[in-house]
Amino acid sequence: MISRNEKIEPPSDDKRWRIVQATMQRNGFTRDGLIETLHTVQQSFGFLDDDSLRYVAASLNAPLSQVYGVSTFYHLFSLKPAGRNTCVVCMGTACYIKGAPALLEQIENEYGLSRGETTEDGHLSLMTARCLGSCGLAPVAVINGHIAGKLNAEEALQRLQALQEVENVQQA
């Protein structure tokens, strides 16, 4: 019997996706295989990007926010580009309407970087994503693997500032 999830098309016709699909199949296309699947993507392609995370989420029927959460929480996974901390701001429609552009702009201004970049000291990578599947919490960001909802710019900056403080303590 062909599983429904086997019909989800991979992001490209790159043959490496067959290896990824085999991993998902071995785990019955269940979320139990999420970490192993992400590991296979990383081993095959060297990093995880938005398209691959979407493909894995759809294939395993897992919320995209969970997939982003796992891939930014475990340091063995590398989203490109990878700083020591990651902030993924959702720019999907619901988040956009609820103020995500202003949120993103404030973070960009504060850290002097643009989306897709990492600060020079490697402290923070700022990324954006299309809908993370948690629209009820819009605007949403995933900060170091933890989903933060109904964010305003001030709260987002406070959370990021807290990461800096943790690093300062660790380096002291």
103 touching ligand FES, by CB under 6 A: no
Tell which positions 126-145 bind ligand FES, by CB under 6 A: 131-135, 138, 140
Q: Which of 68, 85, 92, 118 binds ligand FES (CB under 6 A)?
A: 92
Select from 9-17, 40-48, 69-77, 86-94 the region that touches ligand FES (CB under 6 A).
Answer: 86-94
Task: Provide the minimum distance between the beta carbon of 135 and ligand FES in the complex, in angstroms, as a whole number.
Answer: 3
Can you spell out the DSSP letters for 53-106?
Answer: HHHHHHHTT--HHHHHHHHHHSTTS-BSS--SEEEEEE-SHHHHHTTHHHHHHH
Task: Provide the minimum distance between the beta carbon of 159 and ligand FES in the complex, in angstroms, as a whole number.
Answer: 17
Cβ nearer to ligand FES, comparing 18 with 146 = 146
Q: What is the helix (H) or strand (E) element at residue 42, kind and residue range?
A: helix 34-45
Whose CA is closest to 72, among 58, 85, 54, 91? 85
Cβ nearer to ligand FES, comparing 104 with 140 = 140
Task: Provide the minimum distance between the beta carbon of 151 and ligand FES in the complex, in angstroms, as a whole number.
Answer: 11
> For residue 19, which amino acid is it?
I
57 touching ligand FES, by CB under 6 A: no
Task: Provide the minimum distance between the beta carbon of 171 and ligand FES in the complex, in angstroms, as a whole number.
Answer: 34
Q: Could you count the other beta carbons within 10 Å of the beta carbon of residue 96? A: 16
DSSP annotation of 48 reads B
Q: What is the helix (H) or strand (E) element at residue 170, kind and residue range?
A: helix 153-171
Binding site for ligand FES (CB under 6 A): 90, 92-95, 131-135, 138, 140
